[in-house]
Amino acid sequence: MIEDTQYDDFDALERIRKEEINQYYPISLLDAKQIAKLKLLNHQLTNLEIDIAKEIKAQIKYAKSRIEDKNSLINDFSCDLSIEFYLTNSKYYDEENDNMIMKINCSFHDENWDWGIDDKQCHNTLSSQTDKFKDDKHCYSFHGLYDHTSLEWNEILYIDTISFNITTTLEYDNDN
């Protein structure tokens, strides 16, 4: 179960917005090459979500086994995911900064979930707005970029690199 999802923007986005006119950038302005790049990003994120979900489930299973182990002091855990989006091949790239555009943070406490990362559901909310994505299945994180952040389409197109971090913390609290 995903307990919480947060979206944070970063310095690279500020550099883009400082030079470009930051106004509403409707999907109708996207050309075929830009649509293809966005579809590729969705495909990459879909595959990444599959790998992330496997790793999160393995880490949660391990954490639960430590809690169940009578010889272990561990009695709780937390599992947090951070997906980070960077620009690298852009005139806005600055080697003095991290070049992060956006970060998605999620917390997990169970290895079974039916909503969120790799949930196998279609999160496409654009099919009624445009034919450009009419039959596409959007993964949770791609949907989050265009529907739950301040990013405009032209800004999403700057994403070149994606990384993720999974942090599982085994916890002990003597109050239990």
Check: CB of residue 166 under 8 Å from CB of residue 52: yes
Q: What are phi and psi of 39, to 5 degrees?
A: -65, -35
How wide is the angle at C-alpha 48 spanned by C-alphas 125 and 67, nearest 5°?
Answer: 105
Q: What are phi and psi of 66, to 5 degrees?
A: -70, -35
Length in residues, the chain? 176
The larger pLDDT score, comparing residue 18 to residue 108, is at 108
Q: What is the pLDDT of residues 111-165, one digit of tens each?
A: 877 778 888 888 988 877 777 888 899 999 999 999 998 888 988 999 999 999 9
The larger pLDDT score, comparing residue 2 to residue 38, is at 38
Predicted confidence band at 18 (pLDDT cuts at 50, 70, 90)? low
Predicted confidence band at 1 (pLDDT cuts at 50, 70, 90)? very low
Compute the mean pLDDT over every residue in the chain, rounded to the nearest whole number: 86
Min mean pLDDT across 1-5, 18-22, 83-87, 146-150 is at 1-5
The larger pLDDT score, comparing residue 97 to residue 47, is at 47
Residue 26 has pLDDT above 80, yes or no: no
* Rounded CA separation 73/75 (Å): 6
* Rounded CA separation 172/77 (Å): 8
Of these ranges, 57-66, 85-94, 112-121, the one predicted with the greatest mean pLDDT is: 57-66
Coil/strand/helix, residue 148: coil
- As given in the structure block, the two tokens for residue 129 are 């707005």
> Percent of the chain beyond pLDDT 70?
87
Instruction: Average the pLDDT over 41-54 and give the result.
Output: 96
pLDDT for 158 equals 93
